[in-house]
């Protein structure tokens, strides 16, 4: 899932996306050190929800 989310954000939003291996079942997304999504192995959002949350947060940030 991380690869799909990274590819979609890079392509559509022209963002620099960096992936890193996490712990077993971990999927986290951060923007400039601020966690946007932090999951565990029992709950995973869909890639679309991750992208939507990132877009929303980016839209709220000052230019």
Query: Could you read off the pLDDT of 4-42 as tens digits, one per residue?
Result: 888 888 887 777 888 888 888 888 888 888 888 888 778
DSSP one-letter string for 9-55: HHHHH---------STT--EEEETTEEEEE-BTTB---HHHHHHHHH
Query: What pTM does this model have?
Result: 0.73
Give the model's confidence band at 63: pLDDT under 50 very low, under 70 low, under 90 confident, else very high: low
In terms of residue numbers, what domain contains 38?
A: 2-60
Domains identified in the chain, total number: 1
Q: Which residue has the higher pLDDT, 40 or 47?
A: 47
């Amino acid at each position: 899932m991380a690869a799909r989310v990274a590819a979609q954000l890079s392509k559509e939003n022209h963002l620099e996306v960096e992936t890193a291996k996490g712990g077993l079942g971990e999927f986290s997304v951060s923007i400039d050190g601020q966690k946007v999504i932090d999951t565990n192995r029992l709950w995973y959002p869909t890639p679309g929800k991750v992208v939507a949350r990132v877009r929303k947060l980016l839209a709220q940030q000052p230019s």
